[in-house]
Amino acid sequence: MKRYKTGAWAAPFIMLLVTPVGALAQSTSGAPKLDTGDTAWMLVSTALVMLMTPGLALFYGGMVRAKNVLNMLMQSFVAVGLVSVLWVIVGYSLAFAPGNAFIGGLAYVGLRNVGADPNPLYGDSIPHALYMMYQMMFAIITPALISGAIAERMKFSAYVLFMGLWALLVYCPLAHMVWGSGGLLNTLGALDFAGGTVVHMSSGFSALVLALILGKRQLDGSDDLRPHNLPMTLIGTALLWFGWFGFNAGSAVHSNGLAVSAFAATHIAASAAALTWVVIEWIAYGKPTALGLATGAVAGLVAITPAAGFVGPLPAMVIGAAVSVISFYAIKLKTRFGYDDTLDVFGVHGIGGTWGALATGLFASQAINGIVRHNGLLLGGGLPQIGLQGLAALIALAYATGVTALLAWALRVTIGLRVEDEAEIAGLDLSLHGETAYSGPDTLLADAGGE
């Protein structure tokens, strides 16, 4: 395949694009040996990623109506318990045990063969059990992301069943294909540093499919759909942003220069995206909003996730700024096409994750990470890497949407997906959980349409 040459005039610019923030990871030789610095960093990173799911609960919880906030919080928190148990029993094995190109085997069922010694395949300087715990936190938050698209109308029982099945049948195979030893996309050389395809594309496109099958909320012209608690959403944004450093920088699996580079890229992309979203709203509506800033920040974090360990600071800034433009207009599609993606999961995670996966093929640099086989298209590497990124995106999209549609159909014809109309109107907090988030009568009356 033809490789494009770059003139000498472009050399200074390219040097800016490829320069990492810190020194690169050094290869190790000999038998695996535990490193206390790496182990400490990965313990912190694991805790940071775990914090993201409660952060997601607050981020989503503030955007729904007051009568549904506890249900929204529950949908994230229940993921912590359910997916953790499934991960220990069989999920980690399906994702990371030696298997075939599409799914792992059963060598790690019940965490057999997963202990304090390093596994050279997944972190040669940290305990295998720590790597398992780190990846568990990814598996927890990914299905929880879907909950934002089906907020305020799905049965809790159906949601829990769907989430557990989706984690095993969608997330685990995709994680194996992208990160597992011998996985299809890993072997081909597709790049996904921390989960653009595995986490964001899979959840974002699945969210769209589930929202379409579930149908729209029961709404009339008098419903006030504004977020009921924007401070809660901003606190959730802060926790997500904070936790994302473990999500992306922790994916280096070492306390080294690559982790620093990914850490910097993460923050730069989120900052550029938040600022860009504010500017877009200022131009389009005349007023910048807190919700727009929060949405932009999360979109930037989504987009940089697959690229964080492969790009320098300036490409990170470009990726972040561009995703706000892309996702801002992608969100408008739901008005044009009439689907009810309640909290814009598809526009932010599905479309934002797709942009991030493809942008990795534009800006990936061998100077930053030695596992990159081909420099990105804009760094003179030609089309090979962006072609691989496109292939990975198509596989993730097709597989996630296909399995999601089958799961949703099966649940709809068996236990049903939606709550009854009366329960939806009353609010899912009271009808499904027997609780209310707020005791003030004014809030309850307003949500119930009372006077």
Tokens of 205: 């496109």
376 occurs within a structural domain: yes
Residue with tokens 């989430």: 163
How many other C-beta atoms are found inside a 10 Å radius of the C-beta of residue 394?
13
Give Cβ neighbours of residue 132 (< 8 Å, ≥ 6 apart). 87, 92, 96, 108, 111, 114
Beta bridge partners of 104: 99
Distance CA 76, CA 53 (A): 6
Distance CA 144, CA 147 (A): 6
Confidence of residue 59 (pLDDT cuts 50, 70, 90): very high
Q: CA angle, 65 as apex, 221 and 80 as ends, to 5°?
A: 140
Distance CA 163, CA 67 (A): 23
User: What is the dihedral sign for C-alpha 51, 56, 62, 66?
Assistant: negative
The pLDDT tens digits for 157-214 are 999 999 999 999 999 999 999 999 999 999 999 999 999 999 999 999 999 999 999 9
Q: CA angle, 429 as apex, 424 and 431 as ends, to 5°?
A: 55
12 occurs within a structural domain: no
195 occurs within a structural domain: yes
51 occurs within a structural domain: yes
The pLDDT tens digits for 79-106 are 999 999 999 999 999 999 999 999 999 9
Domain count, the chain: 1
256 occurs within a structural domain: yes
Q: Check which CATH number belongs to the domain holding 296 and give it.
A: 1.10.3430.10
150 occurs within a structural domain: yes
Beta bridge partners of 99: 104
Distance CA 55, CA 241 (A): 9
Distance CA 215, CA 341 (A): 10
Per the structure, the complete domain to which residue 414 belongs is given by 33-448
- Backbone dihedral angles phi then psi of residue 341, each to the nearest 5 degrees: -90, 95
Confidence of residue 440 (pLDDT cuts 50, 70, 90): low
In this prediction, residue 446 carries a pLDDT of 44
Tokens of 365: 């640099």
276 occurs within a structural domain: yes
371 occurs within a structural domain: yes
The pLDDT tens digits for 296-321 are 999 999 999 999 999 999 999 999 99
Q: Which tops the pLDDT comparison, 43 or 3? A: 43
User: What amino acid is encoded at 230 in this protein?
Assistant: L
Tokens of 31: 């038998």
